Amino acid sequence: MKKLGVLNKEISELIASMGHLDELTICDAGLPIPEDVWRIDLAVRPGLPGFLDVTEAIAGDLQIQQIVIATELKEKNPEFNDKIKDIFGDIPVTYIPHDEFKQRSQNSRAIIRTGECTPYANVILISGVIFK
């Protein structure tokens, strides 16, 4: 059994396969996911698993150099936005309109769907490298 990090087989494989500047989206239960993008569907019921728990687990395993969040989250739910930023600390954040976010997420290596039902609770993680 794996000792540390994300236990989910698909997410572990995804993280291990990520290269520099690859993008991974973690989303709420409502974000549209195209058929041709690798979907890792964790949603069990509304709120389970929560977006923040899944995001925190992945942030602990994946080297991230930048995150992308919808502007609408910052405007309409600043507390949730702050919780996301707390997970990532000093990692730079780019804000884009939600419609642009939806388009950009279609280019992700994978989209991980949570059971979160908080509007705009989505993040794109841009992979970094562990060396300089």
Known catalytic residues are 20
Coil/strand/helix, residue 93: strand
Beta-sheet pairing, 123-127 with 23-27: antiparallel
Cα distances from 100 to residues 38, 58, 61, in angstroms, run 20, 23, 27
122/104 Cα distance (integer angstroms): 12
Residue type, 107: N
Which one, of 4, 25, 10, lies nearest residue 96 by Cα?
25
Which tokens go with 93? 């954040």
